[in-house]
């Protein structure tokens, strides 16, 4: 549809032809899959199976060092970041190529976010924040490849990220302002009688931060992928009528791409907000 | 069919293990170990290679922009100077031209005056000469008239009084007094 509308009239027929050809191929694959599906006529949905951690080279036990599908997809994350940020910028051109433009865009986006939200003195932490952003973004999008594994849908991964942010921010706060950092919890603008109550609330909310920070990311991705799987399961069970849930899968897939980008953004900007609290604890 | 389906899904869910793999703490050390390695790797890739490179490219671009703007400013300045020089040259040329024209005009005036003077002198000389000649011609004409008048008077006297001797001298004197009279 998009290519149809953006094509000029001269090449429109060619673009239409290509769209139709792709559509026919997709339809043939879907019909073939529906006709020969394993669970044909049965509702066999196991939406959580996609999150299982399995050893990469067989075996049943998972020790801390065993290479698993987690390892593989983390490696893919590293590779995609390397491809974008290193291979993409290898031209070092003043007038950038497409890849370099994307790398510069990502760089400028996060750098500006750090500077705007957390202030200029937060720029030394920019490499760490950029690392988190690119990791989450690449893991989210890699997870959208059918039958892949989404590392950021696991609470273990997001909890480590969130705890890393929490501990760093707390340490930075105490190092920068000493006990003055505690004024973050002492709302000087509130009436004196309310301040102890507010301090307790602020303290609780401070310690809940890493929990919400990590569960927000993992929960969003897990839910989205589970829904995709459920719809796919319906498609498998409904035979030729499965075309309807497949359209649903397509729609939700689009939504999930949005979620992937937005959750990476949200995680990053919250990190910046927490960092701002640490650098400037006075309200 | 629907009943079957729900039964199946429940049984499958039971078969696939208890609930969420996310809460299977046995896999946590593994995930955390590999995650930390991945994050460290990404951090080093970014911090050692990508970020300095992009920062350098951006700085270079900023420098190029600044340089180009400065160069443009300088060129503009030079264009303004060139225009001023052009205008000055034009004004100089105009004043030079008018000076030359004035000089030429003055020189020509001098020449002209000389020529007119010479011509006046020539004309005066020629006029004087002509006047002299006219006077001479007039005098000779008068003399001729007197001679003719004397001849005619002699002839008239001979015709009126034949035999009478005509005194040529007295005749000429009489004619002269008459002509003058």
CB contact under 8 A, A71 and B8: no
Interface A:B, Cβ pairs < 8 A: 148
Number of H helices, E strands in chain B: 4, 0
Kindly provide the b/e burial profile for residues B120-159, where b requires at least 16 CB atoms within 10 angstroms of the residue's own CB.
eeeeeeeeeeeeeeeeeeeeeeeeeebeebbeebbeeeee
Contact assignment for B35 to A74 by CB distance below 8 Å: yes
More confident residue, B95 or B171: B95
A51/B60 touch (CB, cutoff 8 Å), yes or no: no
CA B49 to chain centre: 62
Are A157 and B33 an interchain contact pair (Cβ–Cβ within 8 Å)? no
Distance CA B154, CA B172 (A): 9
What span, in angstroms and rounded, lies between the C-alpha atoms of A207 and B170?
Answer: 174
Interface test with A, best of B14, B50, B59, B67 (most A CBs within 10 A): B50
> CA of A116, closest CA in chain B: separation in Å?
18
Neighbour tally for A81: CB within 10 Å? 24
Tell me whether residues B46 and A42 touch, CB distance under 8 A. no
Contact B37, A70 (CB under 8 A): no
B23-43 mean pLDDT: 93
CA-wise closest residue to B2 among A4, A104, A247, A41: A41
- Beta pairing partners, A55: A68
Q: Which two tokens stand for residue B126?
A: 């020629």
SS (H, E, C) A171-214: HHHHHHHHHHHHHHCCCCCCCCCCHHHHHHHHHHHHHHHHHHHH
Q: What are phi and psi of A68, to 5 degrees?
A: -120, -175
Q: What is the nearest CA distance from A194 to chain B, expressed in angstroms?
A: 39
Residue of B nearest to A104 (CA): B54
Å between A53 CA and nearest CA of chain B: 7
- Cβ of B20 within 8 Å of Cβ of A222? The answer is yes
DSSP A216: H
- Cβ-defined contact of A222 to B22 (cutoff 8 Å): yes
Two tokens at B141? 């004409």
Q: Could you identify the residue written with the tokens 């509130």? A: A190
Residue B64 · residue A94 · CB < 8 Å: yes
**Cα distance between the two ends of chain B:** 177
- The minimum CA-CA distance between B71 and chain A, rounded to whole Å, is 18
Residue with tokens 């500006």: A112
Q: Which residues pair with A38 in a beta bridge?
A: none
Closest Cα to residue A237, out of B18, B4, B11? B4
Q: CA neighbours within 13 Å on the CB side: how many for B155?
A: 6
- The 3-state DSSP class for residue A68 equals strand
CB < 8 Å to B30, chain A = 53, 62-66, 68, 70
CB contact under 8 A, A42 and B8: yes
Other CB atoms within 10 A of residue A62 CB = 20
Helix/strand number for chain A, H first, E second: 8, 0
CA atoms within a 13 Å half-sphere pointing along the CA-CB vector of A259: 21
Contact A135 B20 (CB under 8 A): no
The owner of tokens 């509308």 is A5
**Residue B14: pLDDT over 50:** no
Going A117 to A118 to A119 to A122, the CA torsion angle's sign is negative
Q: At what angle do helices A195-237 and A243-279 cross, to 10 degrees?
A: 160
Which residues of chain B have a CB within 8 Å of the CB of A70? 27, 30-31, 34-35
Q: Which pLDDT score, from 0 to 100, does residue A15 have? A: 74
Tens digits of pLDDT across chain A (283 residues): 444 444 444 455 567 888 899 888 888 887 776 666 555 556 667 888 889 898 988 888 888 888 999 999 999 999 999 999 999 999 888 889 999 999 999 999 999 999 999 999 999 999 999 999 999 999 999 999 988 999 999 999 999 999 999 999 999 999 998 888 888 888 888 888 889 999 999 999 999 999 999 999 999 999 999 999 888 888 877 777 878 888 999 999 999 999 999 999 999 999 999 999 999 887 6
Contact A127 B8 (CB under 8 A): no
Nearest CA in chain A to B29: A64
- pLDDT at site A40: 53
Rg (CA), chain A: 24
Q: In angstroms, what separates the C-alpha of B87 from chain A's closest C-alpha?
A: 41
Collect all residues of chain A within an 8 Å Cβ-Cβ radius of residue B16.
Answer: 46, 48-49
pLDDT at A100: 93
State the smallest CA–CA distance between residue A44 and chain B in angstroms. Answer: 6
Ranges B6-15, B33-42, B85-94: which has the least confidence: B6-15
């Amino acid at each position: 549809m998009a290519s149809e509308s953006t094509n000029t009239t001269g090449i429109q027929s060619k673009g239409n032809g290509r769209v139709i050809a792709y559509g026919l191929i997709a339809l043939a694959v879907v019909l073939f899959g529906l006709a020969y599906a394993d669970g044909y006529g049965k509702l066999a949905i196991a939406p959580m199976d996609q999150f299982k951690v399995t050893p990469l080279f067989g075996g049943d036990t998972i020790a801390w060092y065993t290479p698993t599908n987690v390892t593989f997809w983390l490696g893919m994350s590293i590779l995609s970041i390397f491809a974008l940020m290193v291979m993409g910028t290898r031209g070092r051109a003043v007038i950038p190529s497409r890849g370099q433009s994307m790398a510069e865009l990502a760089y400028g986006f996060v750098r500006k976010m750090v500077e705007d939200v957390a202030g200029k003195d937060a720029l030394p932490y920019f490499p760490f924040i950029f690392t988190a952003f690119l990791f989450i973004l690449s893991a989210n999008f890699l997870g959208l490849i059918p039958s892949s594994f989404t590392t950021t849908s696991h609470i273990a991964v997001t909890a480590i990220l969130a705890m890393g942010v929490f501990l760093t921010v707390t340490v930075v706060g105490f190092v920068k302002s000493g006990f003055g950092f505690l004024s973050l919890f002492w709302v000087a603008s509130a009436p004196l009688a309310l301040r102890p109550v507010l301090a307790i609330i602020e303290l609780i909310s401070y310690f809940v931060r890493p929990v919400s920070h990590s569960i927000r990311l993992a929960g969003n991705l897990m839910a989205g992928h589970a829904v995709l799987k459920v719809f796919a399961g319906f498609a498998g069970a409904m035979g030729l009528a499965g075309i309807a849930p497949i359209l649903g899968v397509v729609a939700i897939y689009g939504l999930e791409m949005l979620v992937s980008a937005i959750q990476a953004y949200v995680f990053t900007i919250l990190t910046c907000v927490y960092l701002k609290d640490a650098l400037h604890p006075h309200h | 069919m629907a009943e079957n389906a729900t039964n199946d899904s429940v049984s499958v869910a039971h078969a696939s293990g208890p609930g969420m793999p996310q809460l299977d703490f046995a896999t946590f050390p593994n995930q955390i170990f590999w995650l930390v390695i991945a994050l460290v790797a990404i951090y080093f890739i970014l911090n050692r290679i990508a970020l300095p490179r992009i920062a350098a490219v951006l700085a270079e671009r900023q420098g190029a922009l600044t340089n180009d703007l400065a160069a443009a400013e300088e060129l503009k300045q030079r264009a303004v100077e060139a225009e001023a020089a052009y205008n000055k040259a034009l004004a100089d040329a105009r004043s030079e031209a008018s000076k030359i024209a004035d000089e030429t005009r003055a020189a020509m005036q001098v020449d002209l005056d000389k020529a007119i003077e010479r011509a006046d002198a020539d004309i005066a000389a020629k006029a004087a000469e002509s006047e002299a000649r006219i006077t001479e011609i007039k005098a000779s004409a008068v003399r001729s008239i007197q001679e003719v008048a004397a001849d005619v008077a002699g002839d008239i006297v001979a015709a009126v009084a034949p035999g009478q001797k005509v005194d040529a001298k007295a005749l000429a004197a009489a004619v002269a007094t008459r002509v003058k009279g």
